[in-house]
Structures are given as C-alpha cells and as structure tokens.
Amino acid sequence: MPDKKQSILLGGLITGLLSTSYLGFINLLCCLGVIAGAMAAVWHYTSTNELTIKTGEGAGMGALAGLVGYFVGNILTLVLMSMGIRHDLAVNEYMLDKFGENMPPEQYDMMLAQIEKPFTVGGWLSENMMTLAISALVIVAMGAIGGAIGAKMFKKGGEEPVADDPLAV
C-alpha cells in the first residue's frame, strides 16, 4: 500500500487554513472546512495512486488530516493574533456596536474588558483549554466523516477492496 503521509499533510494544511482566524467561520457550516480538508486528503491519495480505498481507511485518513489541521489552524491563528489580527475582537466590537445599548451593563463591561485586554499566547491558551480539547475531538470526528465520504466518492482503481471479514468496514 502506498504511503499516505503526503496526502494527509495536504488535507491537514487545507483543514488548517480553512480553520484559521476569519476563515474559521466556514466551519460554522457543519465543519465544512474540516470535511473539505479530509476529502482532499482522500482525493489526493486515490488520484495519485489510482486506487480505491475502504471507507474505514478513508475515515482514518480524514481523522489524521483533521488532527494535522487542528494544529496547523491553531498555530496560524496564534501567529495572526500575535500580529494583532484578532477575529474575536471584531466579533465583540460588532456586538457592542449593534447591541451595546440594549445589553445589561455587566455584559457590556465584560465585552469591553475583553476588547481592551492585551493578547498573550499563554493567557489565551489557559483561557481556552476546554474549548481546545473539545475542538480537537470534534475536528477529528468530522475529519473521519469527511474521509469516509471521500472514500465513497473518489474511486479510482475499480471497486472498493473486499475484506476477509464480512463485518469489516
């Protein structure tokens, strides 16, 4: 079986780029960026090697592409945030501009404090640990779904391989 690393890295880069800062909003549409990156990994692998893979193999590739994309996306987001490009501030500023006069004073003050708070990588990481852990699980799961879809869509070398075990995926 040919090596999958290059395809998984490609899918991970696509996932990471589509999960970075402002582009990350595409993932609000059922993790579309993650699914697209996972499908790209499977497409690249099946096209390059002219073969068809099992659905489970596609799901595994998609999960790994999602995991790579998770790290790429978070690193790129941290780099952009360190440079002052912060989508979280844009959202808070928009919310204050549109709804600030109707907000309870405590909520208004809290959002204003978030906008004025200086950014540090360590502070951001400590404040977002639970979100990061849950995001990793969701991205890996959605990557697996995208990889499974890709395995069904991108058949290049005949029919899907048949396993010896009738219950195997």
Q: What is the pTM of this model?
A: 0.76
> Packing angle between helix 5-18 and helix 32-49, nearest 10 degrees?
160
Residue holding tokens 């780099």? 79
pLDDT (tens digit per residue) in 109-141: 887 777 777 667 777 777 778 888 999 999 999
pLDDT for residue 153 is more than 90: yes
What's the burial of 3, exposed, middle or buried (CB within 10 Å: 0-12/13-18/19+)? exposed
How many CB atoms neighbour CB 37 within 10 A?
33
**Residue 94, both tokens:** 């928009």
Of 66, 18, 62, 70, the closest CA to residue 151 belongs to 62
Q: Where are the domains of the chain?
A: 5-83+129-153, 85-118
pLDDT (tens digit per residue) in 2-45: 899 999 999 999 999 998 877 777 777 888 999 999 999 999 99
| pLDDT value for 151 | 95
Distance CA 57, CA 49 (A): 14
Q: Span 93-97, mean pLDDT?
A: 74
Percentage, residues of the chain above pLDDT 90: 47
| pLDDT value for 102 | 82
**Residue 155, both tokens:** 């058949």
**Residue 119, both tokens:** 């950014």
